[in-house]
Structure 1
């Protein structure tokens, strides 16, 4: 999105949690400790939103959009598709999980992190981790939540061995 904004000579407005008007948005700053109201006079606005801040759209029989064929593009591809490796899991995705169990450095090891997986399985929860746990190699960095990881907004968040930082 930043690259698109630059090409459009516009500023990007990131992580919007509320749309106040056509040109005014609210977004968290200082690791979520404050909310900034941002107004843009750009003719084209490039905005990313925090999906957990908005209610899910409901399907309606009367709602429909016009369909148009996209114009043909003659550009030569700059890259080629080699393969896709997707991690398979029975656990809910962190971004949408209603319950999240996270572990921190105090679980002491990758083997100790197994308690996090076991509890998450019992609760049907997503698994998260602090940056310290990821940096220590206890789990994959795709599980990192908090200020330097993924943003989560579950109904229940359980932190085990986490130092009570405000992002947890």
Structure 2
């Protein structure tokens, strides 16, 4: 008749197996918990930033209720927008998204009119920003723009748009 493993040896083996499993699962579970909590904190901060980020076109400016477009030879040669910060958060890092019936043009803002983190558009202030009409924005036809969106770096999802 075969003899089994002694109770002491089986207990030691069971403890060793448990410790081995814990050695593999422990660091993974700690890493998972840390990653999840960091992602949640980042998401919460982003939502708080966005709740206080509001700006809009100043309708008392330009030839399109906050937008001023100058054309020459059938092309847009100057594109400006006047923005007012109606939120409680500084806003900066603007860019234009110009749309026509078939394309979307992403246009940078001229450095001289751009707002930065060190010189933001503060609550209650207004500023005029001008599009840098180069690259894909260089040959936009006069009258072809149907929608303008001004995007910011603080909260891109809170970006006003204007139908032209």
Q: TM-score range by the shorter chain?
A: under 0.3
| TM-score, length-scaled by structure 2 | 0.20
The structure with more helix, counted as a fraction of residues? 2
Task: Flag the structure with larger Rg.
Answer: 2
Which of structures 1 and 2 has the larger relative contact order (alpha carbons within 8 angstroms, sep 6+)?
A: 2
